[in-house]
């Protein structure tokens, strides 16, 4: 650009001198010297026009640079000098464009990108082969989710696509490549824990809640069989026995079932004796004992009543039976016995003498 300014300045000066020559022409005598000077000026104008044409050709060459050269981007090259030419020889600059590397290509299509596929819960371990034309030492790094060794232990729930950047550098230049890692979903059946056999006694409350998880974080439906369908079982005197309880968990595709045993031990409920009270009567009276026996276990009850009443519960007193008597009532269900005691008071009754026979005394 500086050279063009100089050339234009020379042209302006030349035009000014020509004007002056025309203005002073009437004072200058015609001759050979004048003709020679005009020839020199014509040659100089032709030389200037040639230089302008060369400058325009250089500008056209710069406009034809490849599209990869973006405005504002630094382009490095070499300057080649013609050593054969003399001091007045023109210096020609040749621009050598650098080669593009992978890390300069931002958009990589799926067809060009390397694809790696693994299943959930598998170990990803990338092996990278790197060469360097200069035999430099090359180090490389991996993008997340890989660690610095290029490894990743996938887990259930990690299914998806991951774009991983791998960078290799010799300390001066860096090359980058993208790899698409596809983790394929692997459905796993739900897991049931916290299930074991249970032993309780009648009358106790059983609370049961299994721990159900899904490695894939799927929604789970859990079903428990009776008598723990609601998660709670309030036992009573009739609950004794052995139960098989199943726990079924499903994610809609796969299911898991576990069965455990629930044992309810029989707890004997003692019979109850009611309807008894102390009795007071006079000699010659009748004693009747009719106890009421109940048993929640509905066991067969054996009832005994001590003397002087007896098991039939009836005692007819005489005029010699006055006094206090303690009678025990016992209820036996075959497992346990329950007793109750009552007091019977027989009051004395004075009876007049009775003449039963009269006969002649012969002595």
Cα–Cα separations (whole angstroms), residue 181 to 116, 122, 129, 139, 168: 5, 13, 18, 22, 19
- pLDDT tens for each residue of 171-181: 999 999 999 99
Tell which phi-psi region holds residue 10, choosing left (phi > 0), alpha (psi between -120 and 50) or beta.
Answer: alpha
Q: With respect to residue 13, please indicate whether it lies within any of the assigned structural domains.
A: yes
**Using 50, 70 and 90 to split pLDDT, how confident is the model at 359?**
confident
Q: Above 90 in pLDDT, residue 64?
A: no
Whether residues 248 and 201 share a domain: the answer is: yes
Cβ-contact 170, 234 below 8 angstroms? no
> What CATH number corresponds to the domain at position 113?
2.60.40.60
> What CATH number corresponds to the domain at position 331?
2.60.40.10
- pLDDT tens for each residue of 191-224: 999 899 999 999 999 999 999 999 888 899 999 9
Q: With respect to residue 70, please indicate whether it lies within any of the assigned structural domains.
A: no
The pair phi, psi for residue 21, each rounded to 5°, is: -65, -40
Whether residues 284 and 319 share a domain: the answer is: yes
Whether residues 165 and 197 share a domain: the answer is: no
Whether residues 218 and 203 share a domain: the answer is: yes
Q: With respect to residue 135, please indicate whether it lies within any of the assigned structural domains.
A: yes
**Using 50, 70 and 90 to split pLDDT, how confident is the model at 184?**
very high
Q: Above 50 in pLDDT, residue 34?
A: no
Please give the tally of structural domains in the chain. Answer: 4
Whether residues 283 and 260 share a domain: the answer is: no
Average pLDDT, the chain: 79
Cβ-contact 177, 166 below 8 angstroms? yes
Q: Which of 230, 265, 300 is the last residue of a domain?
A: 265
Whether residues 166 and 140 share a domain: the answer is: yes
What is the pLDDT, as a whole number, of residue 157?
86
What is the C-alpha to C-alpha distance for residues 142 and 101, in angstroms, rounded to an integer?
18
Q: With respect to residue 81, please indicate whether it lies within any of the assigned structural domains.
A: no
Whether residues 299 and 255 share a domain: the answer is: no
Cβ-contact 182, 158 below 8 angstroms? no
Q: Above 60 in pLDDT, residue 319?
A: yes
Whether residues 174 and 216 share a domain: the answer is: no
Whether residues 150 and 216 share a domain: the answer is: no
Whether residues 114 and 174 share a domain: the answer is: yes
Q: Is the pTM of this model over 0.75?
A: no
Q: With respect to residue 90, please indicate whether it lies within any of the assigned structural domains.
A: no
What is the pLDDT, as a whole number, of residue 131?
87
Structure tokens at 323: 């006094």
Q: Which of 128, 149, 184 is the last residue of a domain?
A: 184
Q: With respect to residue 83, please indicate whether it lies within any of the assigned structural domains.
A: no
What is the C-alpha to C-alpha distance for residues 92 and 73, in angstroms, rounded to an integer?
22
What is the pLDDT, as a whole number, of residue 217?
86
Q: Counting beta carbons within 10 angstroms of the beta carbon of residue 53, is it exposed (0 to 12), middle (13 to 18) or buried (19 or more)? A: exposed
Whether residues 292 and 254 share a domain: the answer is: no
- pLDDT tens for each residue of 247-300: 999 999 999 999 999 999 999 989 999 999 999 999 999 999 999 999 988 889
- pLDDT tens for each residue of 289-313: 999 999 988 889 999 999 999 999 9
Strand (E) or helix (H) holding 208: none
Q: With respect to residue 84, please indicate whether it lies within any of the assigned structural domains.
A: no
Q: Which of 184, 204, 238 is the last residue of a domain?
A: 184
- Tally of helices (H runs) and strands (E runs) in the chain: 2, 22
What is the pLDDT, as a whole number, of residue 69?
37
Structural domain range at position 305: 272-347
Q: With respect to residue 73, please indicate whether it lies within any of the assigned structural domains.
A: no
Tell which phi-psi region holds residue 121, choosing left (phi > 0), alpha (psi between -120 and 50) or beta.
Answer: left
Whether residues 286 and 325 share a domain: the answer is: yes
């Amino acid at each position: 650009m500086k050279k063009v300014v100089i050339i234009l300045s020379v042209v302006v000066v030349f035009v000014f001198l020509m004007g002056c020559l025309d203005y002073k022409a009437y004072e200058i005598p015609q001759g050979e010297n004048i003709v020679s000077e005009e020839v020199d000026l014509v040659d100089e104008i032709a030389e200037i026009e040639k230089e302008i044409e060369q400058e325009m050709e250089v500008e056209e060459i710069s406009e034809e640079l490849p599209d990869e050269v973006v405005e504002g981007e630094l382009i490095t090259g070499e300057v080649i000098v013609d050593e054969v030419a003399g001091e007045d020889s023109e210096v020609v600059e040749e621009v050598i464009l650098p080669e593009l590397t992978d890390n300069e290509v931002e958009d990589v299509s799926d067809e060009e990108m390397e694809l790696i596929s693994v299943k959930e819960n598998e170990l990803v371990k990338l092996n990278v082969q790197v060469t360097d034309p200069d035999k430099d030492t090359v180090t490389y790094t991996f993008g997340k989710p890989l660690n610095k060794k290029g490894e990743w232990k996938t887990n259930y729930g990690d299914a998806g696509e991951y774009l991983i950047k791998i960078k290799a550098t010799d300390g001066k230049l860096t090359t980058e490549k993208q790899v698409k890692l596809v983790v394929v979903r692997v459905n796993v059946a739900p897991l049931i824990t916290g299930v074991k056999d249970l032993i309780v006694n009648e009358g106790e409350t059983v609370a049961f809640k299994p721990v159900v998880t899904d490695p894939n974080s799927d929604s789970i439906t859990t079903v428990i069989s009776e008598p723990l369908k609601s998660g709670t079982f309030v036992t009573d005197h009739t609950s004794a026995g052995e139960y098989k309880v199943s726990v079924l968990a499903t994610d809609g595709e796969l299911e898991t079932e576990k069965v455990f045993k629930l044992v309810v031990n029989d707890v004997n409920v003692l019979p109850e004796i009611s309807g008894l009270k102390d009795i007071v009567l006079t000699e010659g009276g009748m004693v009747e004992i009719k106890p009421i026996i109940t048993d929640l276990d509905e066991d067969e009850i054996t009832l005994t009543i001590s003397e002087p009443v007896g098991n039939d519960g009836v005692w007819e007193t005489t005029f010699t039976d006055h006094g206090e008597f303690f009678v025990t009532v016992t209820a036996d269900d075959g497992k346990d016995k329950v007793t109750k005691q009552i007091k019977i008071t027989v009051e004395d009754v004075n009876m007049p003498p009775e003449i039963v026979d009269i006969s002649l005394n012969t002595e």
